[in-house]
Chain A
Amino acid sequence: MAAQTELLGHYDPGAADRRASAVGWLARAVAFAPVLLLVLVLPAHSGDWTNDAIFAAIYAMVGLSMNVLVGYTGQISLGQQAFLGIGALTAANVVHTGTNVPDPFTFALGMVAAIAVSAGGALVLGAVALRIRGLYLALVTLVFGSVTADAIFTIPALNGNDAGVSAYRPSAITPDYSYYLFALAMVGVCVYVDVWIRRSKVGRGLIALRDNELVASAYGINVLSYKLLGFVLSGAMAGLAGGVFAFWSQEFSDKDFTAAAGFNKALIFVVMVVVGGLGNRAGVIAAAAFFALVDPLFAGIAHHTGWLDFYTNHKAYISNVIGAVLLLQTVIFNPGGLGQVLRPFTKWFAGHRFSMHDEHGDAAAAALAGSSDVRA
């Protein structure tokens, strides 16, 4: 309960006790070096690694978009892959230059269009879905995801007559590593939006709504428009991720989003936001990157341990089991998710004292643990 009242105020618990000394900051910088090494230097190592790292960045963006929706507004979505797809489809079709390299302006236009069309799609879905009460929203988003992919992405005019629409990158970011840095910058944009949501009136309104709709509306929060805003922001982020996805794979293909491929994505997106910890930025990014890298990681392990045959035959199922076990472990034993586990460290890096005891527990985690009913 204390955690909830805390969130209604300005969200910066204990700003006053940020008193790391110069040496303390140096220690933090040194301790942070391995993280930077992992994120910036390792992907430069080889082409495959860069590719995987870009994919992880895309998943991180999707994770953040799920975080806005599930973590802050408490609405569950099983159709987030549709917005990723809409973004990819729009970006590829706007840029559509055949085999030529687009100029930066067209590229930027494609990205903006990807964001705008996804946000528009989210607005339409939200306007309908938010009139539906309770857990039924989960069903509606599930159906929305599969219908969008199967009915719209398969239109020949939009998917290059089933052959895929090419999406080449402008020359400045054609090399994989440059594109990776661009993707990281886009993750940065999403993080910034996430931080802004959390700190602004909007975020406080959304969180108040999530915790208790009746009380929030009594405080003058417009329930429908706030929730709609949450939907649109989340859709826009996923659309941005979709744009990055299109130029990563350098084409849009409906096969990435239809049938089992789309369904699997939808489930993995839910899994990663729960495993990461609802409402917890760092946890969600880490979990998203992990799920993006599960396949290459296990391919590597299998390669070195002689399990390669087993791995290649059961590739799709291994990440399923890992995701499922982590998800069940999280909801049963560790409702705060990875974010809760990382929290002492993230707080330390932010300049707080290192403490395993966190009196400002996350409200989302508390809600998931049952102190209040997260509305679905």
Chain B
Amino acid sequence: MFSDHYALYVISAYVSTALILGAVIWSSVAAGRRAKVELEEAERLGGRR
């Protein structure tokens, strides 16, 4: 697979892609969870008034 002297380039490209995609996926899912809680709290607040 990486039998030539370009292995470091290929690994760098795949690792940097994984890191960037991982960051976007993690931030998207985390923001989604926060927004869900935020909306539930706002609905409770609205219901009390």
- Do A and B belong to a common assembly? no
